[in-house]
Amino acid sequence: MKTKMTGTGLMLPAIACTWLMIASTPLHAADGEAVYNKSCKMCHASGMMSAPKVGDADAWKALAAKGRDVLYDHSINGFHDKGMMPPRGGDDSLTDEEVKAAVDYMVQNSK
């Protein structure tokens, strides 16, 4: 399922829904750590293929400066600059929410 929050008509229900999710779960509905361990760690723990290493504060500071939405977009759709980030880390079974939760986990653990 793809959710895009563009268009003002969708904004209000989307915000209400987000509040509900925040109220009922600690962070994200998806477990970012579990997703990371399953689908992202193989590259992002070692820095394989020039992947930004989780825990490298400088690298992730620069990434966070791009804005979280850009990082979500690059993780969901893939990104080529110095290396090659496959869409959804190559795991098509992941939902947008799960990919985003994994990005949050990586940013959180790279400060």
Residues that bind ligand HEC (CB under 6 A): 35, 39-40, 42-44, 48-52, 63, 66, 70-71, 74-75, 79-86, 88-90, 94, 99, 102-103
- 36, burial (CB in 10 Å: exposed 0-12, middle 13-18, buried 19+): buried
CB 10, min distance to ligand HEC, A: 24
Shortest Å, Cβ 8 to ligand HEC: 27
**Of residues 10 and 42, the one with the C-beta less far from ligand HEC:** 42
- 104 vs 109: CA distance, rounded Å: 9
Query: CB–CB of 44/53 below 8 Å?
Result: yes
64 alpha carbon, distance to own chain's centre: 11
Yes or no: say if 35 and 94 are a contact pair by the CB < 8 Å rule. yes
Of 28 and 39, the one with the shorter C-beta distance to ligand HEC is 39
Residue 14 vs 95, nearer CB to ligand HEC = 95
The CB-of-13 to ligand HEC minimum distance in angstroms stands at: 26
Q: Copy the structure tokens of residue 53.
A: 């290493």
Shortest reach from residue 9's CB to ligand HEC, in Å = 29
Q: Which residue has the tokens 């992941």?
A: 94
